[in-house]
Amino acid sequence: MEKLIIILLILIIFLLLSEKFSLKIERKKYSNLLPESKKTPEKPKQNTSIMGKSKFVPPKQENPLTEAEKQAILAEFEQENESNLPDFEDEEEDLRAMRTSEQDNDFATGLSFEDLEKVADFLSQNASSTTENRELAQKVVGTNLLEEIEKALPEASLKVAQLLDEFLPQTRQKESDFDIEEFM
């Protein structure tokens, strides 16, 4: 039984192969006999253009401009631009007039990081009092920074007060001792 199945399978394979080769041979015969128009068309040549490429062709000028005409056009253009420029001086005067004398609290007017470092060094050590330290002390007085430093170093407020007392003019106790011309 097995032999019979193997023989039948070989026979079927042989028939399929013979049929396949015979079809190829027949196609070749008939394709040579067909006229040129019925043959498969050749692939068209690829068009290598860019999609969206501009096809604008500038118009040709019949009479090109001379150098004198070009200079006249350029001078006219520059005059138009000069007349359109705003007057910055007038704007600045207007802005100055609108300014208020009140201090704007939206912007920081405090110390830089270097100044903060100098203040911390001065207040934590027994450094000599200089004009630079005096200026920093004047900036620090009345700020939250001084309050925070006082929390960390209780003697800091005493140092700042001593420094200011050294360099600030003595206040007079009597009204008769006050002379306005000292401040003018």
Q: Where are the domains of the chain?
A: 113-167
pLDDT at 181 over 70: yes
Chain segment 94-109, per-residue pLDDT in tens = 887 777 666 555 556 6
Confidence of residue 26 (pLDDT cuts 50, 70, 90): low
pLDDT of residue 5: 94
Chain segment 136-162, per-residue pLDDT in tens = 777 777 777 777 777 777 777 777 777
Least confident of 6-10, 35-39, 53-57, 128-132: 35-39
Mean pLDDT of 51-73: 83
Confidence of residue 30 (pLDDT cuts 50, 70, 90): low
Residue with tokens 């150098």: 67
Q: What is the 3-state secondary structure (H, E, C) of the chain?
A: CHHHHHHHHHHHHHHHHHHHHHHHHHHHHHHHHCCHHHCCCCCCCCCCCCCCCCCCCCCCCCCCCCHHHHHHHHHHHHHHHHHHCCCHHHHHHHHHHHCCCCCCCCCCCCCCHHHHHHHHHHHHCCCCCCHHHHHHHHHHCCCHHHHHHHHHCCCHHHHHHHHHHHHCCCCCCCHHHCCHHHHC
